[in-house]
Amino acid sequence: MNVTVVGLCGGSCSGKSTFARLLIDALGDGYASLLSFDDYYRPLDHLGLDERATVNFDHPDALDEPLFVEHLETLRAGRRVEAPLYDFASHSRRVQTVAVRPAPVVIADGILILQSEPIRALLDRIVFLDVPEEIRLRRRVARDTVERGRTEESVRGQFARDVAPMHERFVQPAHTFADLAIRHGDDYGFVARQLAGELRG
């Protein structure tokens, strides 16, 4: 199988998951698989729950890059992988894994995928979602208070302490690697259909 890997990068709550779903839908059934770097956070079972909450999850060291690279290489070679599932409420990996099958297009998404040279070397196309900080913060507050049971104060505190500084240090500078930049206000659906047409040839 000839596999094309599309890297999808952008800040926290920039719309990566939304764009990935739109691209998968535009490509059609069976044509794309998704491997999310968010599920490759290192397990923190050796720490107490309060200690886990203090970890800087926006720094590259928080992620299991070698395992992600191994799985991406396996998918490129046309073989299935058992990807981890991360529980953001407990800050640990679940016992269950999820089977990710190879497909003509593999979408690799994550805020820090472009910080790794080994990961970048496996990407054939790179898409960067460039969304203003105030928009991303508003979305993150809405997501984390509803889906992860957090208080607005804790979400805003973590954003100021870790998310915003790491975005400026690691994420935003990586937009220079992108082949395609999508900005807030762009029609994600239109861009996804256009990219899908290019990928399908």
Would the pLDDT of 52 be above 90?
no
| Total domain count, the chain | 1
Cα 159–172–138 angle (5° rounding)?
A: 35
| Amino acid symbol at 55 | V
Q: What token pair was written down for 112?
A: 């820090």
Chain segment 89-105, per-residue pLDDT in tens: 788 889 999 999 999 99
Provide the residue range defining the domain that includes 64. Answer: 4-195
Q: Which CATH number characterizes residue 155's domain?
A: 3.40.50.300
CA dihedral 88, 122, 77, 27 (to 10 degrees): 70
Judge whether 17 lies within some domain: yes
Domain annotation covers residue 56: yes
**200 lies in a domain?**
no
pTM for the whole thing?
0.92
Contacts of 119 (CB under 8 A, 6+ apart): 7, 65, 68, 69, 72, 108, 113
Tally of residues, the chain: 201
**Out of 84-88, 136-140, 174-178, which region has the weakest mean confidence (pLDDT)?**
84-88
State pLDDT tens for residues 7-50: 999 999 999 999 999 999 999 989 999 999 999 999 888 888 78
Identity of the amino acid at 200: R
Mean pLDDT of the chain: 94
Look at residue 69 and tell me if it is in a domain: yes
Mean pLDDT, residues 118-136 taken together:
97
Residue 19 CB coordination number (10 Å): 23
pLDDT at 43: 86
182 or 49: which leads in pLDDT: 182
From residue 193, how far is each of 28, 32, 171 by CA, in Å?
A: 10, 13, 25
- Say if 120 falls within a structural domain: yes
In a domain, 201, yes or no: no
Q: Is residue 34 part of a domain?
A: yes
For residue 25, how many C-alpha atoms fall within 13 Å in the half-sphere facing its CB? 12
The answer to the question of residue 88 being in a domain is yes
CA distance 91 to 188: 31
Side chain identity, residue 157: G
Task: Quickly list DSSP for 176-201.
Answer: GG-SEEEETTS-HHHHHHHHHHHHH-
